[in-house]
Amino acid sequence: MKSLLILVLLFISLGLSAQPQNAFRWANQVPLNYPSLATDLGGNTVVTGSFTQPITINGKTVAPYGLEDVFVGRYSASGQLLWFTHIGGTGAKATGQDVAVDAAGNAYVAGVFNGTVNQNVAGTPLTMSDIIYASSYSLPFLVKVSPTGQTVWARQGKDRSGDIQSTSAVRVAVDPLGNATIIGYGTSTLTFGSITVGGNRTGIMVHFDAAGTATWGHTFSSSVTTLTRGIGADGSGNTYLTVRVTGNPFMDGQSIPGPVLTSVILAKFSGSSGALLWAAPITNADNTDLAVDLAGHATLIGPFSGAAQFSSRTLTSSSLEVYVARYNPDASLDWVRSLEALNSGTERIATNWAGSSVVALVNTSASPTHAKLLELNTHSGAVTWRQELGPGSTSGSNLAISPLEQVYVAGSFSGVLELGRTTLTSPTGAYFLTRIDRGPRGNSPHFADLISCYPNPTTTYLKLKLPAQYLPARAALFHMSGREVFSQALKANETELNMRSVKPGLYTLRVQLPDGVVTQQIQVK
**pLDDT (tens digit, 9 = 90+) per residue, 448-482?**
556 788 898 899 999 988 877 678 888 999 886 66
507 in Cβ contact with 480 (< 8 Å): yes
Enumerate the H helices of 136-225 as residue ranges.
none
Helices (H), 238-343: none
13-22, 235-244, 332-341, 436-445: least confidently modelled range? 13-22
Residues 24-45 have pLDDT tens digits of 889 999 999 999 999 998 889 9
- Residue 403's pLDDT is 79
Say how many residues make up the chain: 525
User: Do 476 and 516 sit in the same domain of this protein?
Assistant: yes
User: Does any domain span residue 210?
Assistant: no
The answer to whether residue 446 scores a pLDDT higher than 80 is no
Percentage above 70 pLDDT, the chain: 87
In a domain? residue 382:
yes
* C-beta of residue 203 within 8 angstroms of C-beta of residue 189: no
| Percent of the chain scoring above 90 in pLDDT | 55
Query: 346: which strand partners?
Result: none
Same domain, 429 and 492: no
Nearest to 200 by CA among 127, 250, 265, 267: 250
pLDDT band at 130 (very low <50, low <70, confident <90, very high): very low
Residue 493 has pLDDT above 70, yes or no: yes
From 381, 413, 439, the end of a domain falls on 439
Q: Is the dihedral of CA 448, 454, 456, 461 positive or negative?
A: negative
**pLDDT at residue 445 greater than cutoff 50:** no
Domain count, the chain: 2
If one compares 126 and 100, the residue with the highest pLDDT of the two is 100
Q: Which domain holds residue 379?
A: 298-439
pLDDT mean over 268-278: 95
Residue 247 lies in a domain: no
* 402 and 484 housed in the same domain: no
Asked if residue 310 is part of any domain, the answer here is: yes
- Residue 4 has phi, psi (to 5 degrees) of -65, -40
Rounded to the nearest 5°, which phi and psi values hold at 8?
-65, -45
**168 backbone dihedrals φ, ψ, rounded to 5°:** -130, 170
Cis peptide before 472 (omega within 30 of 0): yes
Q: Are residues 465 and 484 in the same domain?
A: yes
Res 470: pLDDT:
72
* E strand intervals along 102-194: 107-114, 116-117, 126-127, 139-145, 151-156, 158-159, 167-174, 180-186, 189-192
Which backbone phi and psi does 3 adopt, to 5 degrees? -65, -35
- Same domain as 499, residue 388: no
Q: Answer yes or no: do 403 and 326 share one domain.
A: yes
- The answer to whether 95 and 70 have CB atoms below 8 angstroms apart is yes
Check whether 507 has a pLDDT greater than 80.
Answer: yes
For position 515, which CATH number holds? 2.60.40.1220
Q: How far is CA 85 from CA 90, 147, 387, in A?
A: 16, 12, 32
Q: Do 303 and 389 belong together in one domain?
A: yes
Per-residue model confidence (pLDDT) at position 129:
52
**Interstrand relation of 93-101 and 81-87 (parallel, antiparallel or unpaired):** unpaired
- The set of residues, in sequence order, having a beta carbon less than 8 Å from that of 249 and lying 6+ positions away, is 220, 221, 222, 226, 243, 255, 256, 257, 258, 263, 265
Q: Is the residue at 136 inside a domain?
A: no
In a domain, 197, yes or no: no
- Of 413, 439, 465, which residue is a domain's last? 439
Query: Quick one: DSSP state of residue 88?
Result: B
Q: What is the mean pLDDT of the chain?
A: 86
> Environment class of residue 331 by beta-carbon count within 10 Å: exposed (0-12), middle (13-18) or buried (19+)?
middle
Candidates 38, 29, 12; CA nearest to 348 is 38
pLDDT score of 14 = 46
pLDDT-based confidence at 20, cuts 50/70/90? Answer: very low
Q: How far is C-alpha 95 from the geometric centre of its chain's CA atoms?
A: 19
Which residues are CB-contacts of 322 (< 8 A; sequence separation ≥ 6)? 301, 302, 303, 304, 338, 339, 340, 341, 342, 344, 347, 360, 362
Name residues whose C-beta falls within 8 Å of residue 60's C-beta, 6 or more positions apart in sequence. Answer: none
The residue among 439, 463, 480 that closes a domain is 439
What is the CATH classification number for the domain harbouring 310?
2.40.128
> What is the pLDDT at residue 128?
63
Q: State whether residue 15 is helix, strand or coil.
A: helix
Once rounded to an integer, what is the mean pLDDT over residues 323-328?
A: 97
Give a yes or no: residue 261 inside a domain.
Answer: no
Q: Are 302 and 431 members of one domain?
A: yes
d(CA 11, CA 170) in angstroms, rounded, equals 31
The answer to whether position 64 is within a domain reads: no
Q: Assign 447 to helix, strand or coil.
A: helix
In a shared domain, residues 339 and 394 = yes
Same domain, 315 and 366: yes
The identity of residue 484, as a single letter, is E
The reported pLDDT for the residue numbered 17 is 39
Sign of the dihedral defined by the CA atoms of residues 162, 164, 165, 167, in that order: positive
Looking at the structure, tell me whether residues 421 and 495 fall in a common domain.
Answer: no
The backbone torsions φ and ψ at residue 133, rounded to the nearest 5 degrees and listed phi first, read -110, 160
Residue 479: in which H helix or E strand, if any?
Answer: strand 474-479
Please tell me what DSSP assigns to residue 34: -
3-class state of residue 41 by DSSP: coil
**For residue 496, what is the DSSP state?**
E
- Longest Cα–Cα distance of the chain, Å, equals 77
Residues 405, 376 share a domain: yes
Return d(Cα 166, Cα 478) in angstroms, integer.
Answer: 51
